[in-house]
Amino acid sequence: MNNKGSDKILSIYWFAILVLVAGGIFMMTISFYNHPYDVREIEAEIIINNIADCLSQNGELNSELFNATGFSEDFRTNFLAKCHLNFEAGEGEEGQYYSEISFYNAGDLNSLAYEITGGNKNLAASCSIQNEKEYKREAICVEKTFFSLNGENLYLIKILSAIGKAEKNVR
Amino acid sequence: MVFGKRGSLLMENLVFIILNLIFLTLLVLFLLRQGEGAVVLEQAYAKEIALLVDSAKPGTTMLLNIEKGKKLAEKNNVDVEDIIKIDSNSVIVKLSEKGGYSYSFFNDVDVSAYPDTTDPQNIKDYVIKINNYQNE
């Protein structure tokens, strides 16, 4: 084959490669922008921060958590309102938030001293399977723990938050 | 026009380079345009504002730059005042006449959102103001 002929074949190959690369980039871009931004993990972390701020200030537990006999039942019942959280869903819709707060005495981490829950409890079921890829459309769960004092008593507080909102965050 | 052997070689290479450049330019333009679509921007703004509101305490005032969104809204005949709306606990962002994206927030606060009219001829920002808790 002469030089000119081989040059032409080379440029055909070159453009074939360009078309392939362009096709790949096109597919990747379309696929990237077709997927919504998943912000559920950040939301779960913000809920935990807000709850932690509500339960404990400067390392001391909120005095509203206690009454004369121990942990307050009123706080448990009105937890969402007291912590300024609105977990309500629209009419006919399922709740998209769930939070579970567990208090343990630092001396005995196996026995639960007090528990508060709020939101749609069904979302908690997704927490154990969320790391499996096929369940990525389920709720996202985040758990954080911290210590806080009530007078002389030290408590370990575990906050679990689950966010649904799969339709808006996963495709 | 008559080219010599050298001339025709130069011409072929020139055409080859120009075609490559056109191809790359089209590819870059396509990539840039993808990230600036109304659907993508509406979603990004709505989620960003919802997360900001969730993290904020009453008394907070935030300025959000919406220049990109404003350009798109003007192109799609949407008023600047209608770009961001707060409806009970949802942020609604609208950058096209038929579109719109809403995202809910959980912080039980009263929020106001309006364009920053410090320079009415050149509105660049939106003011997001966290007034107070709904249930004091």
Please state the ipTM of this predicted complex: 0.83
| Model confidence pLDDT, tens digit, residues B100-121 | 999 999 999 999 999 999 988 8
Render pLDDT for B1-58 as a digit per residue (tens, 0 to 9).
Answer: 455 666 777 887 888 888 889 988 998 888 888 777 888 999 999 999 999 999 999 9
- pLDDT per position as a tens digit, A65-94: 999 889 999 999 999 999 999 998 776 678
Quick check: B43 and A38 in contact, CB under 8 A? no
The pLDDT score that the predictor gives to residue B100 is 92
B51 vs A contacts (CB less than 8 Å)? 39, 42-43, 46
Find which of B106, B131, B132, B135 to mutate to test the A interface (most A CBs within 10 Å of its CB): B106
Give the Cα separation of B27 and B21 in Å (integer).
10
A82 is written with which tokens?
């007291």
Return the half-sphere exposure (C-beta side, CA atoms, 13 A cut-off) of residue B32: 7
* Number of neighbours of residue A157 by Cβ within 10 angstroms: 21
Q: Which segment of A45-49, A134-138, B94-98 scores lowest on mean pLDDT? A: A134-138
Q: Pairing state of beta strands B101-104 and B90-93?
A: antiparallel
Instruction: Give which of B104, B110, B111, B103 is closest to B128, Cα–Cα.
Output: B111
The two three-digit tokens of residue B130, written as one number: 């966290």
Decide: helix, strand or coil at residue A116: strand
Give me the residue from B12, B44, B54 closest to A37, CB to CB. Answer: B44
